[in-house]
Amino acid sequence: MTGMSHNMTINTRRRHRHGFTLIELLVGLLILGVLSNVALPAYITEVIAARQGSANANCRVLASTVQQHALQHGSYDTVLADYAVDMGGALPTNPCTGTTTGFTITDSGTQCAVVASTGTNCGTWTPITFTLGYSGE
């Protein structure tokens, strides 16, 4: 009986091999391929949508500062650097362009429009235009 248990131990050791078979590796690669084909486009879409939302939010902050500046100085006519001073020295970054100058501010003295530049990091989209001031009517 003792000899039998010794033979079973040797046979058991021979059956347990380390590593993966080719089929197991191929199945694993197939699963990774399917997941990446499904998940990667969704991830990229979400990143672009987040950048667009952030650009509009940063534009809203800049528009609030433009409005505050106009109330303090009585006019919308100014330069971007003046708004940076009102914001504590730092303009928000537009994630679509990657710069702090990625915003368009058009003013006519009594009215102003602030809009984020579209840039190449955000695909095709229509940013929100913030119109400030009085139309004179």
Residue 2 is predicted with a pLDDT of: 55
Give Cα 50 to chain centroid, integer Å. 4
Q: Is residue 2 part of a domain?
A: no
Which tokens belong to 79? 């330069």
The total number of structural domains that make up the chain: 1
Give Cα 89 to chain centroid, integer Å. 24
Measured distance CA(94)–CA(79) in Å, rounded: 18
Q: What is the pLDDT of residues 45-102, one digit of tens each?
A: 999 999 999 999 999 999 998 888 888 888 887 777 788 888 888 888 999 999 988 9
Which tokens belong to 89? 């020295």
40 is in which domain, residue-wise? 16-133
Question: Residue 104: which of 45, 71, 59 has the closest Cα?
Answer: 59
Q: What is the pLDDT of residues 28-60, one digit of tens each?
A: 999 999 988 989 999 999 999 999 999 999 999
